[in-house]
Structure 1
Amino acid sequence: MTINSAPTARRVAVLVGSLRADSLNRKVAELLRDQAPEGVVIDIVDGLADLPFYEETLDAEATPAAAVALRDRVAAADALLAITPEYNGTMPAVLNNAIDWLSRPYGAGAIVAKPFGVLGTTPTPFGGKWAHEDAQRSARIAGAAVVDGAVVSQSVLEIDPLTDVDAIERFHGVVNALLAFEPAAA
């Protein structure tokens, strides 16, 4: 007897670095979710505003429910994608805090060995490049497998990233790179 089993969907957990409901970066995350190919689930992880700032004693005594939920969602994903603007030349505090929570317990956090990429849009000539570099560095130090080339820093000064075919293709390219990532042999 042959048992037919449907292939398991590949999951990409998405952390949006802007809390604003009408954020362009949130809209990019929603566009990727809505345009995900068959077999791919783009899981926008909400609740980042509910995370207290990381503090080791708080984590050790009674990890907040929001942190447990974040860790569970990311641990269940095949890859992690940050979609973020840039605030004052760096990543928003909410994204940095989420990475801090995901990095613990040290060496075994939900982010460890998880393929990681970042993309985003800003109304600046560099499209959030510095925030994206900071997010990659922080995720790498936290133990993520930062995927080479899985970054898009898109300026919105001359295009609408929600309708520009080339920008959308680059965004999808980051997701594809995350899902195609194979860790280097030890």
Structure 2
Amino acid sequence: MAQSAAARKPVILVLGDSLSAEYGLKRGEGWVPLLEKRLAQQKVDATVVNASISGDTSSGGRARFAALLAQHKPSHVVLELGANDALRGLPLTDTEANLLQITQSAQAAGAKVLIVGIQVPPNYGGDYTRRFEAVFAKVAATTRSALVPFLLKGVADAPNAMSLFQADRIHPTAAAQPQLLDNVWPELRKLLAAK
């Protein structure tokens, strides 16, 4: 009896890179720990597992994912990978295949998936920028997953954007993390509410 009650408690696995791993921030300042606080405030009894690693690519996430699935048995997976693929100039077809495989594996294990998209700066060229952005929407559409089109909306495109990034101009500051959570929360809340 106790096990079936525990089995119903949502386990949210965040599989991401430095944008979710609190790179350059104090522990507890990132959007994932803020998500834990929001769940508690909203009286949603859920466990959050942050399996994000700074520098991780979609292929790195794919390689780690089977073990994470087996260990944590998530009911929900927040997939935030791909930015490092773009920074390294990896083929978009590989990024798409990796995200697709991770999403399908999660769904096969019974988890709902939220794909979190990222956009690259325009210096990569308009064509690459558009095709990269489209990867996330395509995987979400193919797998009927939820989608956050741009994790850094309201940060990277804010009038005071530079003040919201660390000195590397890649990683958002602690002050920007609530906005990242606000970008993810509406879609995640819908998934948590769905039966």
Q: How high is the TM-score relative to the length of structure 2?
A: 0.52
Q: Does 1:174 align with 2:187?
A: yes
Q: Does 1:111 align with 2:117?
A: no
Amino acid at match of 1:82: L
Amino acid at match of 2:145: V
C-alpha spacing 1:121/1:45, structure 2 compared with 1 (3 Å)? same
Task: Answer 1 or 2: which has greater helix percent.
Answer: 2
Q: Does 1:83 align with 2:86?
A: no
Are the counterparts in 2 of residues 85 and 122 from structure 1 also a CA contact under 8 Å?
no
Whole-angstrom distance in 2 between the partners of 1:177 and 1:18: 25
Are the counterparts in 2 of residues 14 and 81 from structure 1 also a CA contact under 8 Å?
yes
What displacement does 1:16 show? 0.3
Are the counterparts in 2 of residues 13 and 80 from structure 1 also a CA contact under 8 Å?
yes
How do 1:67-146 and structure 2 match up within 5 A?
Answer: 67-73=65-71, 76-84=73-81, 86=83, 87=86, 97=98, 99-100=100-101, 103=104, 109-112=105-108, 114-119=111-116, 124=121, 131=132, 133-138=134-139, 141=142, 144-146=143-145
Q: Does 1:43 align with 2:43?
A: no
Which runs of 5 or more residues in structure 1 are unaligned? 55-63, 104-108
Task: Answer 1 or 2: which has greater strand percent.
Answer: 1
What displacement does 1:82 show? 1.5
Could you say which residue in structure 2 is the equivalent of 1:106?
none
Identity rate, percent: 15
Could you say which residue in structure 1 is the equivalent of 2:16?
16
What displacement does 1:69 show? 1.0
C-alpha spacing 1:32/1:85, structure 2 compared with 1 (3 Å)? farther
Are the counterparts in 1 of residues 15 and 61 from structure 2 also a CA contact under 8 Å?
no
Give the paired residue count.
156
Q: How high is the TM-score relative to the length of structure 1?
A: 0.54
